[in-house]
Amino acid sequence: MARRRPLLPALRAAAVAGAAVAGAALVTAGMATSFARGVVKPERRRTEGIRILGVNDAGDRVMLSASPDALLPGDYSLWFWQGAGHARVGEITARTGTMVTRVVLGTDFGDLRRARTGRFNGWVYLNPRELGVPHENVTVPMPVGAAPAWLIPAEGGSDRWALHVHGRGTRRPETLRGVPVFRDAGFTSLIVSYRNDEEAPPSEDGRYALGDTEWEDLEAAIRFAVDRGAREIVLVGWSMGGAVVLQTVLRSPLASFVRGIVLDSPVIDWVETLNFQGDARGLPRRVERGAFGILAAPWGRALTGLHAPIDFARLNVLERAQELRIPMLLLHSDDDGFVPSAGSRHLAAARPDLVTLVPFDIARHAKLWNYDRDRWNGAISGWLGALGLTD
């Protein structure tokens, strides 16, 4: 007769196994919640991933750890002290396996000699004054309230306007690089802000909606431009600004004024982009799937703070590619590192009749102008000319 397994040890083993499963589920749920919150909650503290190793006696060279950003050719902003310090750096003059030396073009504020960490971005210009052209500070009435914008008129005036839309977690200066090529083509530029970007008023929930609500602010900016005499508009979007632009032309009746779209490093498909970012962080796919569930479900609002769940199907421009009607220029680098270029390539393949893709290979995210401004400007000016949108 077979001996029965003692009941108590079996129950204990089952309890331990159950606790392990429950613990793993809780860890997964916690990681998914953290990832989901990070997607929609505006960042106020940026990661400074570059070590500042020193400044030479003359103050015109800075030594940095050899990160992918620090090794890029071109001119960039170097932020330090969590945004309390800003310098502009240029060409690389020396490098080793672990260190790169760059020219310091100028320090706008803060003491670079005392800084120990920093971060790169592609701004370079902090204010329209640095472009050496007239500008006006204006206020655009938006659904969330009055939002600041910069108006840079074309020389002699123009009914052609370019509206420049910055990306997630950044502000208006990001787009100033794009103004000169449009001004040379005879465009007035309006550099806009939108909800939750530290300049415009916040939304009710204080959360990004990944373009699902921000497009209403761009629609308001189009209305502002039309009221000021704009008749032909080009929308220029950077990173998440690209998603905002695309939602605007798909959902706003004012899209009838839009003659063209220019997007730099745009988010075309949020699911692909967030999976890419989760993979880069080493997150298991079950965590990524859990994050999407939290963001998309009504019950997830209690965890994310969102006023309404994210409709990822509505935001997926690849699935809606046949609805597009406006010529589009995409500029994207295959080594982007933050927003994969596959979305831009897929959209160009889906709509070759409308979409022109100019690929880069080593320019990183939203730094294509910095890496090769002649190619960036030339692509835009040539494309505008082909559409008959130059003076």
Domains and CATH numbers, the chain: 50-121 (2.40.30), 128-386 (3.40.50.1820)
**Burial (CB count <10 Å: 0-12, 13-18, 19+), residue 220:** buried
pLDDT tens by residue, 309-318: 999 999 999 9
Under the banding of pLDDT at 50, 70 and 90, the label for residue 9 is low
Q: 3-state class of 259 per DSSP? A: strand
Q: Say whether pLDDT at 21 is over 50.
A: no
Q: Say whether pLDDT at 10 is over 90.
A: no
Q: Say whether pLDDT at 225 is over 60.
A: yes
d(CA 384, CA 234): 9
Average pLDDT over residues 66-86: 95
Give just the sign of the alpha carbon dihedral 35, 287, 278, 64: positive
Mean pLDDT across the chain, nearest whole number? 93
> In the Cβ-directed half-sphere of 156, how many Cα atoms lie within 13 Å?
4
Q: 3-state class of 167 per DSSP? A: coil
Q: What are phi and psi of 215, to 5 degrees?
A: -60, -30
Q: Give which of 167, 176, 93 is closest to 131, Cα–Cα.
A: 176
pTM of the model: 0.92
The pLDDT value given to residue 22: 45
The pLDDT value given to residue 43: 83
Under the banding of pLDDT at 50, 70 and 90, the label for residue 6 is low
Q: What are phi and psi of 142, to 5 degrees?
A: -125, 165
- What Cα–Cα distance (Å) separates residue 336 from each residue in 31, 42, 55? 25, 21, 29
Q: What are phi and psi of 217, to 5 degrees?
A: -70, -40
Average pLDDT over residues 352-359: 98
Are 71 and 94 in contact by the 8 Å Cβ rule? The answer is: no
